[in-house]
Chain A
Amino acid sequence: MIFIVGGAFSGKRDYARNHLGTADLAEGTESFDRLCEADAVCDFQLFAEKCVKNGIDALAETERLIEKNPSVIIIADEIGCGVVPVEKSDRELRELCGRLNCMLAERADKVVRVVCGIGRVIK
């Protein structure tokens, strides 16, 4: 599994396409079965949000996804660097996304951080 992280609109998908040869990019909001067969899952923070909405443990669901699709590329927005959100649910989601990113980075064979479309392998 490869994990790509970076700010919104920082060129993460293009990095996956151009540097990792990814052709089939799924959105984090698509069905679990779809994510299990995709080359890459984008907007992983939305996968987490969807899990929370459906009362599913996002960490466990992510484990399950990696198990079923061990070569998947997971792409997530870094959303933890701004001001603490006003809404409790937003705070919880932000925290969860941070924890998920840590877990993904730990599991990944390779972690790439993208800034201005430039990827740096940080693991």
Chain B
Amino acid sequence: MLVLVIGGSGSGKSETAENIAVGFGGKRTYIAAMEPFGEEAKARIERHRAARCGKGFETVERYTDVEGLNISGTALLECLSNLLANEMFSAGGAGEKAVDAVLGGIEHLKRTCDNLVIVTNEIFSGDTKYLGDTKKYMKNLGYINCRIAERADAVYEVTCGIAERIK
């Protein structure tokens, strides 16, 4: 089962995704793609960690190269926006091949896991006058979202903590 969860910042998409993953039962792995840069990121990671506590996830931190992971059971990947940014802009990332690296990693997880839940971010409905790297990043994330949604068994859009199944 492949499930994609999309929502804006603070929309409750993580909780939705966690609950979906818990519903699958069995061994659960949380793949954390956010690098703990600075206090803000650390605080956010702690908040997510506390929210997940007791839900039975083993946490694996992985900022790039998801294809190199060896995971089975149910995996929750959070989130595509961080993973793509790392692949595009981090020193250890895939750079120009970021889109292939992300999609390849997801294909790999889909093969090795029984269930894969992926969280992504709605960043596309604000100003479109972004230039350069930001625009490229938006275009890449939009493309990846569409490709995963095509393959997904279920897609949820989360607004104000309310998840609507759109596929």
* Cβ–Cβ contact A81 & B125, under 8 A: yes
Q: How far is the CA of A54 from the CA of B127 in the complex (A)?
A: 21
Judge whether A115 is part of the interface by a CB distance below 8 angstroms: yes
Chain B binding site: helix, strand, loop or mixed by DSSP? mixed
Chain B residues contacting A14 (CB-CB under 8 Å) are 146
* Cβ–Cβ contact A8 & B167, under 8 A: no
Q: Which residue of B lies closest to A119 (CB)?
A: B166
* Cβ–Cβ contact B125 & A79, under 8 A: yes
Judge whether B42 is part of the interface by a CB distance below 8 angstroms: no
Q: Write the A1-24 contact mask toward B (1 if CB under 8 angstroms, else 0).
A: 000001111110010000000000
Chain A binding site: helix, strand, loop or mixed by DSSP? loop
- Chain B min CB distance to A16 (Å): 14
Judge whether B97 is part of the interface by a CB distance below 8 angstroms: no
Residues 28-83 (chain A) with a chain B CB within 8 angstroms: 45, 77-83
Q: Which residue of A lies closest to B130 (CB)?
A: A8
Q: Which residue of B lies closest to A81 (CB)?
A: B125
User: Could you list 11 further interchain pairs (A-B, Cβ under 8 angstroms) beyond the known A8-B142, A45-B128, A117-B145?
Assistant: A10-B124, A11-B142, A11-B149, A81-B126, A82-B127, A83-B126, A115-B6, A116-B155, A117-B146, A118-B166, A120-B166
* Cβ–Cβ contact A117 & B150, under 8 A: yes
- Chain A min CB distance to B153 (Å): 13
- Chain B min CB distance to A15 (Å): 10
Judge whether A95 is part of the interface by a CB distance below 8 angstroms: no
- A8-B138, A9-B138 given; A118·B155 CB < 8 A: yes
Judge whether B114 is part of the interface by a CB distance below 8 angstroms: no
Interface size class of A (residues with CB under 8 A): 20 to 34
Q: How far is the CA of A71 from the CA of B67 in the complex (A)?
A: 46
Q: Which residue of B lies closest to A49 (CB)?
A: B129
Residues of chain B at interface, number, CB under 8 A: 26
Binding site for A on B (CB under 8 A): 4, 6, 8, 120, 122-129, 138-139, 141-143, 145-146, 148-150, 155, 157, 166-167
* Cβ–Cβ contact A116 & B126, under 8 A: no
Q: How far is the CA of A120 from the CA of B167 in the complex (A)?
A: 10
- Chain A min CB distance to B3 (Å): 12
Q: How far is the CA of A78 from the CA of B166 in the complex (A)?
A: 18
Which of B123, B127, B138, B149 has the most A CB atoms < 10 Å from its CB? B127
Q: How far is the CA of A111 from the CA of B150 in the complex (A)?
A: 21
* Cβ–Cβ contact B166 & A90, under 8 A: no
* Cβ–Cβ contact A7 & B155, under 8 A: no
Can you pick out 27 interface pairs between chain A and chain B where the beta carbons lie within 8 Å of each other?
A: A7-B123, A8-B124, A9-B139, A11-B149, A14-B146, A77-B125, A79-B128, A80-B126, A81-B8, A81-B125, A82-B125, A82-B126, A82-B127, A83-B126, A83-B127, A90-B127, A94-B127, A115-B6, A115-B122, A115-B166, A116-B120, A116-B148, A116-B149, A117-B150, A118-B155, A118-B166, A120-B166
